[in-house]
A and B are shown apart, each in its own frame.
Chain A
Amino acid sequence: MRKSNWLLLVLALLLSTFLVACSGGDDSAEEETEGTDTEEGTDTEETEEEPADEEAAPEQVLNILESAQIPTMDSSHATDAVAFQFLGESMEGLYRLDENASPIPGIADGEPEISEDGITWTIQLRDDAVWSNGDAVTANDFVFAWRRAVDPDTGSEYGPFMMNGVLKNAEAINNGEADVEDLGVEATSDTELVITLEKPIPYFYGLLTFGTFLPLNESFVTEQGEDYALSSENLVFNGPFLLEDWNPTGDNPDQWKLTKNPDYWDAETVTLETINVSVVKETSTAVNLYETDETDRAGLSAEYVEQYAGTEDFRSLPEPTLFYLKMNQDNEALANQDIRKAIAMAIGKQDLVDVILANGSVVSNGAVPANFSAHPETGEDFRDINGDLLVEDVEAAKEHWATGLEAIGTDTVELEYLGGDSEVAQEMDAYIKNQLETNLEGLTVNVTSVPFEERIARDEASDYDIQNSGWGPDYLDPNTWLEMWTSTSPYMTMNYNNEEFDSLIEKANNELLTEPVERFETQLEAEKVMMEDAAIAPIYQRSRAYLWRPGVEGVVFNPMGADFSYKWAHIE
């Protein structure tokens, strides 16, 4: 008898623990919606209370998720999408990209004045722009920032990458052969900036919108020293929004917010009051947060696309990022043009984007993506003019394959295929292997899936036969997609060498620099040449699938730099 009483007691205790846990849950739900939790940045109240008073203007608060922390807010050191995103919102450069991806004045007061030879750019600055500590934004802030970016002591990655060969003496300074004072940028007054280029770079205007070219407040940066940009306390801003509560070593390293900057020169254009940001890496968590109105945007992976496609929340945003196979011509078989063509044409690209990626990505049949660059006169898209250069065509692939095998005198070919180790990459590579082996008789493809670092190392060592690789643009000009395939480019790595292609690119980047139309047409020609060679096998142009809260309007999607611009965004 006593024994069973004791047992009852234990059971009751156990049960009560569960009950406490459950009732605790109820409380939590209550508290969440009462909105006492701003410090955690998980505000749930703003959007869902709309129906209560439909007449009143909705609160201008946007909640978004990022898939990673901000690695740095120092514009000299920024290299990735998240850093450029938040630099873009909180800082203002000379120009900013508008919704048509054209530069419009930021700190610059009007368009640049360009000398006849295209080398000297004189830019007037507005005199009413200020930093968040009250200092005026002056021409010297740009001079200081750009010198810092190429200074070898800074150890910047993107500084030299973006500026070498563009700004006069940048490369020499970075190599330690010239002083930073020799850099081709000069403040002739507080509001006049004179830039000297190495050569007349036609896409320099677009470059000026890029994060690496943002100004830095010299006195503030110098005073902060090593501490500069370690947290939002160690930063000053001059952009549409102020970054707040960002501290990667604080109590809550994964949440921060942007608030409207009242001192921004164009503050009256900015409608959003607050943007709350949280880092969420798991897609299912992001979708759950979207479903409960805790976020207004969630990125989707392939398995969710089917579920949401067609709803008013679903948006697929095309990106100018291309994926393709690099074919190493060191390999005897791949040195043969017919073999390369056969491989490029044998892959069912449409099924790949429809079934495996399923996020709105589109088939790519060239070396330059669609909707990226337009003919300077007619405005026609590069891709539309050149059309489909290397399409999937199994019959033609088989013919090329037979011709190629005959030419090299064999009937079996074995190729090492280097791919990424993410889930999607492995699925995609398995599919491509299957397509190639099914459609091209006698071909064996051995897929090796490696982490990104390892793939880059093998890429540089040309240690692959076929490699599934991707590239995003660095500036708004077809050259960012073409120059990398010249025989002297460090990114080419596949032993492709076509003198005609090299000379076309060379021409486009030298004597034709000031002839936009001829230059564009030369680039079109160059793409045809390399596609005729099947130097690479284009696969797809990436899109990203998102859930976006209907009513969030005016967000600008940029082809390069920050993915989004919230300056003109508002909630309806």
Chain B
Amino acid sequence: MARYILQRLGYMVLTLFLIATFSFFLMKMLPGSPLSAEQKVSEAQREIILDKYGLNDPVPVQYVRYIGNLMQGDLGVSFQLKNQPVTDILLSRIPISAQLGLYALLIGTVLGMLLGLIAAIRNNSWVDYSANIISVIGISIPSFIFAGLMQYYVGVKLGLLPIAFWGTWQQAIMPTIALAIFPMAIGARFMRTEMIEVLGSDFIVTARAKGLNNTGILFKHGLRNALIPLVTVMGPMAVSLMTGTLVIEQIFSIPGIGEQFVQSVMRDDFSIIMGTTLFFAFFFVLIILIVDILYGIIDPRIRLAGGKD
């Protein structure tokens, strides 16, 4: 197991390096420069500024310099937020996105699993149908619609919750619900399908025949097996939730990373784009690793590396 993880970590570094290289050259192919008054600054002035920041050097030279700095953990400074270190910007914004994403993921998954579980147990009853309707709605209506409606009715009309901003737990409620609806719906659908299948399989029948009680069968044998596909979808979903969701952050004016990222792309703010991309990539690779490890814990048949370690 330890060797496997070590090996995976090695691949992870390689993956990150490739991503860094790939995005670096892609970025350099974008038109424009990170200057903010590009329309007005004359070409001669622009050259002076680009020279100062080494942006007129040949791309391979810039690449070597960037990777060199990266090795030392230096992500450079932002153009858009003049001179602000990229590391500091990421450190101030990522925790906020991650916190929001984590709340949404936990609440969404737990509620989704419960919903799916009930639907599976009460297969083809009104409970099942309503759970189904809820998840279809959750999947098909985009989160910003929920966010906008909630903000207007709960925030403005009823005055129950703060309309925007971040800092208190009250301010976290609406964005969390808006974000949690999608994972909840997905979770419910996967859980229901898997659970119905698992509950119909031979080993459950055996368990019943052995006289185990319903709760025991459900949780000890059913749930565990039904979790596998859920873990597969939840991994990538965790990444997309925790790396900042542009729309929700924008609607609730949450100072997260999603919004900053989009802004940086529009403004050609090279160092922030690279820093954020690398962080996202790192996070994604890490989650995939965690998912793989989780498989083994949930289902002993899928022991990693052939189960020899």
Interface on A for B, CB 8 Å cutoff?
A: 2-3, 6-7, 10-11, 13-14, 17, 21-22, 24-29, 31-32, 37, 39-42, 68-69, 71-72, 74, 77, 79-80, 152-153, 155-158, 160-161, 164, 174-176, 226, 229-230, 247-255, 278-282, 284-285, 288-289, 291-292, 294, 451-454, 456-457, 459-460, 474, 490-491
Contacts and interface: CB of A to CB of B under 8 A. Distances in A.
A29 B159 contact: yes
7 smallest A-B Cβ distances: which pairs?
Answer: A28-B170, A453-B32, A72-B82, A249-B88, A25-B160, A79-B37, A254-B255
Contact of A24 (B39, B41, B85, B170): B170
Contacts of B214: 2-3, 6
A452 B170 contact: no
Contacts of A41: 165
A175 B49 CA distance: 11
Max chain B C-beta neighbours (<10 A), residue from A21, A161, A453, A459: A453
A347 B141 CA distance: 39
A490 B43 CA distance: 8
Contacts of A284: 148, 151-152, 251
Max chain B C-beta neighbours (<10 A), residue from A37, A454, A474: A37
Contact of A281 (B35, B159, B253): B253
B31 A457 contact: yes
B122 to A, nearest CB: 7
B161 A74 contact: no
Interface in B64-113: 80-85, 88-89, 91-93, 111
Contact of B167 (A39, A152, A281, A457): A39
A253 B78 CA distance: 15
B36 A160 contact: no
A441 B105 CA distance: 58
B41 A157 contact: yes
B179 interface: no
A454 B32 contact: yes
A292 B53 contact: no
Contact of B253 (A28, A282, A457, A490): A282
Nearest to A65: B253
B239 to A, nearest CB: 23
Contacts of B44: 175
A288 B255 contact: no
Given A41-B165, A79-B36, A454-B31, 20 more contacts: A17-B111, A22-B160, A27-B170, A37-B167, A71-B80, A74-B82, A157-B36, A157-B45, A160-B48, A174-B48, A175-B48, A248-B84, A251-B92, A280-B164, A280-B253, A282-B250, A289-B164, A292-B159, A292-B163, A294-B163
A453 B167 contact: no
A230 B83 contact: yes
Contact of B42 (A21, A229, A456, A490): A490
Contact of B168 (A17, A28, A490): A28
A42 B118 CA distance: 41
23 contacts: A2-B214, A7-B122, A10-B117, A13-B114, A14-B111, A28-B168, A28-B169, A29-B160, A29-B161, A32-B162, A37-B167, A37-B168, A39-B167, A74-B83, A156-B49, A157-B41, A160-B41, A161-B40, A175-B48, A229-B82, A249-B88, A254-B255, A289-B164
